[in-house]
């Protein structure tokens, strides 16, 4: 039986753009597990409340429900050890945890600022009031003020990717010789931007662009085939 994934959607239910849900989509594909996605919107909190979560991704695997993309990755790794490994062992898991924390605390907030009005524009109208109120409370500014000056902010974001460029100059994937969950984490961020906005985060000659191209092709082009705006 396929695993169910509650997956953030825009007004167009086919537009799936959450960076965290993309981590989970990639992790499920990496494990070769079938998934049935359910489009979820911010107004649908009652649909995931029974699973003890207020955010997506949430997966339901038979009797088990797991929320939070990191917890889901660990669940998949520990529940399906005979399938391709997401982490490549305990030190790989520990290092991926660092990438996860870096993406969550540094990269995703920076990207979120750049894209906030693009995200807002694609949401279902039923999500507009909640999204504006919750994000304006988070940033302490209007969405318009958060988004202002994005050219300048883009330069800072590109500089923040420096460690990734350095790693990719030595090895093809963050995971080393093969993609690992660390790659899926960062890919989730870039796929978020790619799906929700035409604002390009990466320069064409950035090594991350070439890496993203290879990530887009994994698992029969799962990322490549996503609906974009
Ligand atoms: N730490 C969580 C973060 C998940 C998260 O922030 N999800 C967003 C969508 S991208 C969400 O569901 N937000 C609900 C809300 O803001 O009310 C994870 O890694 O899964």
The per-residue pLDDT string of the chain (229 residues; one tens digit each, 9 = 90 and over) reads: 899 999 999 999 999 999 999 999 999 999 999 999 999 999 999 999 999 999 999 999 999 999 999 999 999 999 999 999 999 999 999 999 999 999 999 999 999 999 999 999 999 999 999 999 999 999 999 999 999 999 899 999 999 999 999 999 999 999 999 999 999 999 999 999 999 999 999 999 999 999 999 999 999 999 999 999 9
Residue 17 Cβ inside 6 Å of ligand 1? The answer reads no
Distance 171 CA to ligand 1 centre (A): 31
pLDDT at 24: 99
Cβ burial 145-175 (10 Å sphere, 16+ → b, else e): ebbeebeebbeebeeebeebeebbeeeebbb
pLDDT at 151: 87
Distance 135 CA to ligand 1 centre (A): 12
Listed in sequence order, the residues at least 6 apart from 34 whose beta carbon sits closer than 8 Å to its beta carbon are 2, 3
Residue 216's DSSP bridge partners are none
What count of other Cβ atoms lies within 10 Å of the Cβ of residue 113?
19
Q: In testing the pocket of ligand 1, which one of 10, 16, 53, 56 has its CB within 8 Å of the most ligand atoms?
A: 56
pLDDT at 144: 97
**3-8, strands of its sheet edge to edge:** 35-40, 3-8, 58-61, 64-67
Distance 58 CA to ligand 1 centre (A): 10
pLDDT at 136: 98
Residue 196 and residue 118 in contact, taking contact as beta carbons nearer than 8 Å: yes
What count of other Cβ atoms lies within 10 Å of the Cβ of residue 91?
9
Residue 68 Cβ inside 6 Å of ligand 1? The answer reads yes
Dist CA 97 CA 69 (whole Å): 11
Dist CA 105 CA 211 (whole Å): 22
**Three-state DSSP state, 12:** coil
Residue 37's DSSP bridge partners are 5
Q: What is the pTM of this model?
A: 0.98
């Amino acid at each position: 039986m396929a695993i169910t994934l509650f997956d953030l959607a825009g007004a167009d239910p086919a537009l799936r753009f959450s960076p965290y849900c993309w981590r989970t989509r990639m992790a499920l594909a990496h494990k070769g597990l079938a998934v049935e996605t359910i489009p979820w919107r911010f107004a649908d909190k009652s649909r995931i409340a029974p699973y003890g979560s207020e955010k997506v991704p949430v997966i339901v695997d038979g009797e088990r429900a797991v929320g939070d993309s990191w917890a889901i990755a660990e669940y998949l790794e520990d529940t399906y050890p005979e399938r391709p490994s997401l982490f490549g062992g305990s030190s790989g898991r520990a290092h991926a945890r660092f990438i996860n924390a870096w993406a969550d605390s540094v990269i995703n907030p920076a990207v979120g600022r750049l894209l906030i009005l693009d995200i807002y524009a694609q949401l279902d109208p039923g999500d507009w009031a909640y999204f504006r109120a919750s994000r304006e409370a988070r940033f302490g500014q209007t969405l318009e003020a958060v988004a202002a000056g994005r050219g300048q902010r883009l330069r800072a974001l590109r500089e923040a990717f420096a460690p990734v460029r350095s790693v990719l100059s030595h090895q093809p994937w963050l995971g080393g010789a093969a993609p690992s969950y660390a790659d899926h984490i960062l890919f989730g961020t870039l796929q978020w931007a790619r799906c929700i906005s035409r604002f390009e985060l990466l320069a064409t000659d950035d090594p991350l662009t070439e890496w993203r191209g290879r990530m887009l092709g994994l698992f029969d082009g799962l990322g490549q085939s996503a609906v974009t705006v």
